[in-house]
């Protein structure tokens, strides 16, 4: 099966570089590279999920010829979730499974100070505190300035997202969180179960918002088990 992986705010496809090695050979990792980063640095990044998701789904449509699933962390969780809803809305079927990490359930309002339009020093402090941005990027003024438009655009996607009610998905879900993540508490993670009529498994691991980087070798075998179980339960060629 194929596993489409959406990046967190400020992240790129490189975040998932080692995943294929740690997952079963039956799972093909498709790391999604969004505009404004890596080899797409010269492209204008999106500032809203409403604009990003349709283009993303159109881009991956040729790869929907086998069972597939979606994974996303933080901002990527919203992108993965809305992509699955867009697939259903446009008649392309649902995935075999949706996996989300480090983001409160989409129907819940965000808590805390929004930083997408904060002064640059404040945004830099926030990025350093959450731990998802490489220190060498934050410590290099020229590099940080070059990537600032992408960082602000991603934060705008994450912080201006507006949930629109639709019927819950029919595919099973896996939800992952950090035990010390102040941006997605265990109770906020568990409320993802309202977004599916199937089973929703919530698992917590030691760590803060970016626990997934530190606990990768513990989490990926679990992801693999969930994915292969979903396929064995009879997902069709396009996850239907």
What are the catalytic residues?
74
β-pair partners for 173: 98, 200
Per-residue CA distances from 66 to 50, 51, 195, 234, 236 (Å): 26, 26, 24, 12, 8
């Amino acid at each position: 099966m194929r596993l489409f992986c959406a990046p967190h705010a400020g992240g790129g496809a490189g975040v998932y570089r080692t995943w294929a090695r740690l997952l079963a050979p039956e799972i093909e990792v498709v790391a999604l590279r969004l505009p404004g980063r890596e080899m797409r640095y010269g492209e204008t990044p999106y500032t809203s999920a409403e604009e990003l998701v349709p283009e993303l789904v159109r881009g991956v449509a040729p790869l929907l010829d086998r069972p597939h699933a979606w994974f996303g962390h933080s901002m990527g969780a919203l992108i993965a979730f809305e992509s699955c809803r867009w697939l259903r809305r446009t008649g392309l079927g649902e995935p075999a499974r949706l996996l989300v990490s480090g983001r409160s359930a989409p129907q819940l309002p965000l808590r805390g100070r929004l930083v997408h339009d904060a002064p640059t020093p404040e945004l830099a402090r926030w990025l350093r505190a959450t731990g998802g941005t490489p220190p060498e990027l934050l410590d290099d003024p020229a590099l940080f300035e070059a990537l600032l438009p992408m960082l602000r655009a991603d934060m705008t996607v994450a912080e201006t997202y507006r949930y629109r009610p639709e019927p819950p998905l029919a595919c099973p879900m896996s939800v992952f969180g950090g035990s010390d993540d102040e941006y997605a508490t265990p109770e906020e993670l568990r409320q993802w179960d309202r977004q599916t009529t199937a089973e929703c498994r919530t698992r917590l691991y030691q760590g803060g918002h970016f626990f997934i980087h530190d606990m990768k070798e513990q989490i990926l075998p679990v992801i693999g088990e969930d994915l292969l179980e979903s396929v064995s339960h009879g997902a069709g060629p396009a996850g239907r």
